[in-house]
Every structure is written in C-alpha cells, then in structure tokens.
Amino acid sequence: MGVKRSSGAARVEEQIVLEWKRYAARRARSADKVAAGACFLEPRPCPFEARPDFETRFVQDCVHCARLHDAAERTGVASPGSSGVVPTLPILTRLLEEEGNGLAPSAGGDGEDGRWRAAAVFLRALPLLHASSLPDRTARILLAAIARAYEDVVDTILFFQVPHESSSLALLAAFRHADLDVGLPSSGGPIDVDALESTGAFDGEVFDRLREGPMALDQDRDLLSDAVFEGRTAIVARPSRELRLPSLLVEHLPDAPVAILPVFGRERVRGLLVVSAAAGIAGWTSDQMELLSAITAQTGIALEGAGLLEVARRRGTGLRALLGLATASLKTQRPDILEAALSTLAASLEAPAGVAWTWQPRGSETGPTRPDALPVTHGDPAAEEADLLEMGVSLRHWLEADPRPIVIDDVRTDPRLPGTLPSGWLSALAVPLKSEEVVRGAVLLVRTGADGASPRPFPPDDVAIAELGASIIALVATRDHFEGAAGRAERRAQEVEAQLRHADRMSVVGERGIQVAQEIRNPIAAITGFARRALRTMEEGDPNREALEIILRETDRLERILVEQVSLAQMTRPRLKLQSLNALVQEVLELQSEELVRRRVRLLKRLSPEVPSLLLDGEKMRHVLLHILQYALQQVPSGGRVRVETRTGTGHVQAEIAHDGPKSPGESLDRLFVPFSMSRRYGAGVGLAVAYQIVREHGGEIRARSEGDWSSILTIYLPVRENQDRRGKPDRRAGRNDRRRRLA
C-alpha cells in the first residue's frame, strides 16, 4: 500500500492547481477553453483529448506535456534534456515573473502564420469598409475585423469619433470578448457584422458611461489628445499606472497593454481606435501595430468617403426641399412663405428648432414688414417671447453691420445671442433676409440636445443651403411687396376714376342747380314784392294781413335757402381758419334740439376733449354736419337713437353720426352720396352729395357703413397733418398788409 498523503499536502496541491487555473484563464481567456482543448502556453491546440474541467486537464495531461517541459527548460527550472515530473510551482513562479516584467511571449499572432491570418482577415474587411455609408457601421466593421484577426490577443476595442473642430470624443462603437454570447466565427470565414450585433458584442452595458456624453480631451497631459491633434500612435503597458489617460477610459479597460491609433481622414483625424490586449499578453508586436495602422488608414479613407456621401445626401435633400419651396411660392394661393421656409430649412438641416424675424426698414413707415412683428417659430424653441424679441434686436444689429451668415458653434459661450437661452440649445446658424441690399429679417436655426451634450456645429454646406433658402424667402417677399403695391395702385386708380365720375355728376348737378335757383328766384322776388305792396295797403285789423305776413316770411326763407344753395353749388374755395370741431358739432346739435325733442329721439353724445383745433371753413363744415344730422333724423323713427361722436385717430380726426332706424327698401350705402341715385325719404340726396364734396375739399373723406344695431354710420375723416402743414405756411395776405403798413 502506498503512503497516504496528509491533508496539508493535499491542500497545497489544490492551491497550486488553482493558481495554474488563474494563470491559464488569463492566457486563454477562460479555463473552460483549456479544458475543451486550448493551450495556455502556445497558440497551437492541446494534443490531448477534451476533459470535463481544468483540474482534470492539468493533473492528467499538462504535467506530462512536453510544452510544460519546454517552459521549464526555458525558464531555467529544469536543465535541458532532463526527464521526469517537472516541479510545477517553480515553473509557475518564473512564468508569473516574466509576465510581471512584460517578457512573456504573446499568444496567437507572433508567428508568420498568425501575421498572414490577420492580414487575410483585414483584406476581407476592406470591401465592407469602403461599401459602408454610415460612420457607426464602418466602425463596427473595423472592430469585428480586429476581433477576428486577433481573437486570442484582443480583449476590448473602442472606436471614438472626433467631431469637427471639437475638443472631445464621442464613443461610436465598442467591443468586448466577455459580451459575446457565442465564440467568434472561424478567422477563415466571412466577416458577418450583423451576426456579431445579434450576439450583443457591440452593445455591452459596461460602456454605458462612455456613451452618456462626450469625453473631454486635455491637450496638455493626455495621450488621446496627442493622437487627435498631433496624430501620434501610443502603446501603454499598464493603463492603471498611466497618468496621461482619462480615468473614465481606464475604468473601462483591462490592466493589459493598450494601443492607441489615430484614424486619419483627408484633412484631420476623424476617429480614435483604442485596442486593449487580454490579460496575460505581454505587449503588442511591431507586426501587429503595422497591420492595425494599415487597417485604420483604410478606415479613415472609408469614413471620408462616407462623409462625402453624407454631404451629397444632405445637399440633395436640402436642394429638393428648396425646390419644393420655390415651386410652392409660385402658386397663386401660396401658404405663408416665412413659416413654410422655416419648416423646410429646419427639416433639411436637422435643426429641431427655428425662429424667423421680419423687420421694418429703418427710417421707413411703410413696407412689407411690421417693425415689431412677433417672430415665427418652428418646433419648440423653449424660449420666452420677450427673449426671442431681444434676440431678434441683437441679431439685427450684427447682421446690419455685417450681412453675412452667423455660425455659432456653441451658443453657451457666444455673446451674440442675448437673453435667457434654453439649456438645450447647442449650436445655431443665423442667415439674413436681404432685399435690395437691405436686411429685412433673419432666420435662426438651432440644434438642440441634452444638458452637457457636445455642440453640433453647422458645416459650410448647411450654411450655403440656408443662404439659398433665405434668398428664396427674400425674393418671394419682394415680389409680394410689389404685387401688393400694384394692387394698391390699381385700387387707387379705380377710386380716382370713381371720384372723377362723381365730380362729373356733381358738376352737372351744380350747373343745373344754379340754373334752377336763378329761375326760381325771379318768381319768388315777384311774389315777395306783390305781397309787400298788398300788406302796405291793408289795415291793421284786416284778417288777411296775417296770411300775407306768413307769405313774406316764407319767401324770405326761400330766398335765403336759394342763395345758400347757389353758393354751395358754385363750390367756392373754403375760407380756412382755426375752428373747434367739437364746437361746430355742438352748434348743429343746438339747432336741431327742438326736432330731437319733438320726435323723442334719444341722443348719445360723446365728444372727445383730445380733438385738436383744425383749419376749417366753419360755415361749410357746419352745413356738412347739419345735412348728415338731418339725414339721420329723417331716417330714425320716433323713440329711436342717434349717436354723435368725435375722436382722434392716427393722423386724422373723426366725427361720426349714426342712427338705428330701419333701412329703406333699395337703399345702398355705397350710393348714399350720389345725387338723384335713388328715391328716399330725405329729399333727392343733393345735401349729402354737397357735404361729400365739401369734406373732399378739406382733404378728408366720408365713409358709410352699418354695424350691429346701427343701420347707418356716417364717419367724417379730417386729416390732422394737412392742418398742421397749413398752419406752418405764412399767410400771404398778412404779408401784404405788413408791407402796406411799412410803406405807410
């Protein structure tokens, strides 16, 4: 019977096997792989059959394997040519010392076979790289190729994208062997990125912190900055001991050799590749770095091509959108061009928010825009209206000083956008709306993101598309302005033509009125003369004397009316002097007070004290007010209402007389001031026609309308500016009197 081992010796052997298991797990990435047939000492597979676990493999196979004897001879534990059982603990100690000093041989890839195998994988990956049109797809193809080429060497691969003119990195793709649900396919087969994606190789949750936001670069003490800004390649033996690596990156890498390689584009570094070896790998060989540099160079070319394709796609999308906008602007019934253009530009340039302003040209009071027009918005700018107005004022000053597009890479540090800016605003682009070299507005496009996100500046191609869209907006606005001016001119011509026709009718009416008045005056004069003669011959108590007195009184009144009508019909030039419009209205109301009381008409009077004195012909303006008030009294029934009101407006004074009487059948407010146009209760309409002409001579106008309960509202508009101009002109007659006084 053999000698039974003590329990202490058994525990020591178990501890030695456990340490070998840990060493093998680092070298082969898994102790189970060693049990299945992988070798932790050489790249070649194990010559023995598979075992259920590592312990069985080591005790029954490894201790008798020639490879372990070779390792003993190489490390000096056993002399060359010796045989028998080798001391495993001293061998493990020497191997661990070599591993700590970085002298352990790299597994899988040092020989010519490994080099050619890796090169073959990279060659098969080239068509996939150059066929990819998306940056993230290109990055995943690169990571899959490296993982396949150096399956036994690589543990973690990270690809960072370098935004344009940015001092930070954004994680675009990540790979880790531990995230694989199944092993990698054979290195001789095709590279199937979709199959790797399905296994979760690129979606490891361990890298979520790297994906949350950009990783800032420290240009003074950062190996990543050296790679991005100077294009340097770096190799780090132990990341945990390297102070020039960001701590956030070190937390996501194993403490094994790391290679950092820049991915060059045509003009700048477009990406950064970080490749970490597995635990137990001594370092990166020159052959491996040469192949990694070659595949990253091809990746840079592929990214540059994908970028150009993306630019072409964006240009095509923007131009198609602008073509649709231009087509829509040619339609007769076109939508609001500013709102449509803002939506089109925001969608084509990937700007979630946008604001557009229109401004009145400085020193002008007319035009297609309003001076304080509220901005038009797209999306949700998340800014207060007051802040947007303040922002528009600031942009106007900048664009009027230099009418070129304003590209703001980071709105948080740019002073050209004042006010309280939303925290989600990252980058902005402002383009002017110019017409005839005058800035008439601006369009602001904003790219947004989460708090702390990296800005996304607008490239030159986006600026060119925005300028083209702004030109379309300005051209359409200019065309609308001229179309509006042409329409206003046409309406003005029609109004002038109507006024000329009205003047012709009035001239005929005036001439005929003068003739009729002259013809009537002679019979009235004869009646008056005979009545006076008869009155003188009558006795004081004669009963017919009262009738003759009535005849004389009425004929005198008729004479005065005829003289008045003749003077009005002849339309002499008004004799202007300062008059109070409120006082004239009050006088007319007093003249008609008895009529108002007799007919029980309710008078609503509102005379504004702010109405200024005007240069008026008081007598003629009194007739105007009297005629309009008499017309209202004739139309309103007993117990009705008449409203008389004066007020000031923009550049004019208004006097308004309204009634709530029923409308006469066939009566039209449009033809109210046309004499003899229709039959009505108020005479033949000559009085209102004369009133219309008198107001026109004063530079004003009369308008008629109905509103609510008021069946007829007649409003007199008298300009204030013309009255002020007349006040400022010297009185030539006064000048002549002054000369006469000086000569006397």
pLDDT tens profile 50-80? 999 988 888 888 888 888 888 888 777 776 6
Q: Answer yes or no: is pLDDT of 33 > 90.
A: no
More confident site: 135 or 203: 135
Q: Answer yes or no: is pLDDT of 658 > 90.
A: yes
pLDDT of residue 739: 42
Q: Pick the range with the lowest mean pLDDT from 281-295, 655-669, 700-714.
A: 655-669
Sheet holding 438-448, edge to edge: 376-378, 353-358, 438-448, 425-435, 406-408
* DSSP bridge partners of 713: 658, 705
Mean pLDDT value of segment 534-541: 81
C-alpha triplet 144, 177, 218: angle, nearest 5°: 80
Mean pLDDT value of segment 609-627: 89
- Give the pTM: 0.46
Phi, psi of 255 (to 5 degrees): -85, 70
Q: Answer yes or no: is pLDDT of 186 > 60.
A: no
Q: In Å, how far from its chain's centre is CA 150?
A: 50
CA–CA distance, 254 with 236 (Å, rounded to integer): 12
Task: Tell me if 76 sits within 8 A of 48, measured CB to CB.
Answer: no
**Superfamily of structural domain 332-474:** GAF domain (3.30.450.40)
pLDDT of residue 182: 54
CATH architecture of 577-728: 2-Layer Sandwich (3.30)
What residues have CB less than 8 Å from 733, skipping those under 6 apart? none
Cα separations in angstroms, 566 against 76, 297, 374, 559, 681: 142, 103, 56, 11, 23
pLDDT bucket at 603, cuts 50 / 70 / 90:
very high
Task: Tell me if 235 sits within 8 A of 254, measured CB to CB.
Answer: no
Domain range 487-570, its CATH number among 1.10.10, 1.20.58, 2.60.40, 1.20.1300: 1.20.58
Mean pLDDT value of segment 378-390: 79
Task: Tell me if 599 sits within 8 A of 642, measured CB to CB.
Answer: no
pLDDT of residue 674: 63
Q: How many CA atoms lie within 13 A of 87 on its CB side?
A: 10
CA–CA distance, 431 with 424 (Å, rounded to integer): 21
Q: Answer yes or no: is pLDDT of 6 > 70.
A: no
CA–CA distance, 679 with 98 (Å, rounded to integer): 123
Closest to 258 measured CA to CA, from 286, 272, 239 = 239
**Superfamily of structural domain 112-310:** GAF domain (3.30.450.40)
| Structural tokens at position 667 | 């009566």
pLDDT bucket at 738, cuts 50 / 70 / 90:
very low
Tell me the Ramachandran region of residue 363: left when phi exceeds 0, alpha when psi lies from -120 to 50, beta otherwise: left
CA–CA distance, 430 with 388 (Å, rounded to integer): 13
pLDDT of residue 7: 57
Task: Tell me if 46 sits within 8 A of 61, measured CB to CB.
Answer: yes
pLDDT bucket at 741, cuts 50 / 70 / 90:
very low
Mean pLDDT value of segment 672-687: 53
Q: Answer yes or no: is pLDDT of 185 > 60.
A: no
Q: How many CA atoms lie within 13 A of 325 on its CB side?
A: 30
Element housing 17 (H / E): helix 7-28
Task: Tell me if 224 sits within 8 A of 204, measured CB to CB.
Answer: no
Domains 112-310 and 577-728 belong to one CATH topology: no
| Structural tokens at position 194 | 């979709």
User: pLDDT tens digit string along 351-361?
Assistant: 888 888 888 76
Percent residues over pLDDT 90 in the chain: 10
pLDDT of residue 258: 92
Mean pLDDT value of segment 389-405: 85
What residues have CB less than 8 Å from 142, skipping those under 6 apart? 125, 129, 159, 173, 273, 295, 296, 299
pLDDT of residue 587: 92
Q: Map out the domains of the chain as residue ranges.
A: 7-100, 112-310, 332-474, 487-570, 577-728
DSSP 294-350: HHHHHHHHHHHHHHHHHHHHHHHHHHHHHHHHHHHHTSSS---HHHHHHHHHHHHTT
Task: Tell me if 461 sits within 8 A of 445, measured CB to CB.
Answer: no
CA–CA distance, 662 with 712 (Å, rounded to integer): 9
pLDDT of residue 339: 79
Mean pLDDT value of segment 518-527: 81
CA–CA distance, 75 with 104 (Å, rounded to integer): 11
User: pLDDT tens digit string along 111-146?
Assistant: 556 677 788 888 888 888 888 878 888 888 999 889
Task: Tell me if 463 sits within 8 A of 408, measured CB to CB.
Answer: no
CA–CA distance, 569 with 512 (Å, rounded to integer): 9
pLDDT of residue 584: 93
| Structural tokens at position 567 | 């003077």
User: pLDDT tens digit string along 555-589?
Assistant: 887 776 676 566 556 656 778 889 899 999 999 99
Q: How many CA atoms lie within 13 A of 529 on its CB side?
A: 6
More confident site: 332 or 286: 286
Task: Tell me if 576 sits within 8 A of 615, measured CB to CB.
Answer: yes
Percent residues over pLDDT 70 in the chain: 81
Mean pLDDT value of segment 220-246: 86
The whole-chain average pLDDT of the chain stands at: 79
- 463-484 exposure pattern, b = at least 16 Cβ within 10 A, e = fewer: bebbbbbbbbbbebbeeebeee
CA–CA distance, 344 with 331 (Å, rounded to integer): 17
Tokens 């002109």 belong to residue: 729
| Structural tokens at position 123 | 């060659």
* DSSP bridge partners of 272: 160, 262
CA–CA distance, 521 with 517 (Å, rounded to integer): 6
Per this entry, what is the length of the chain? Answer: 744
Fill in the DSSP letter of residue 544: T
Q: Pick the range with the lowest mean pLDDT from 214-228, 277-291, 324-338, 642-656.
A: 324-338
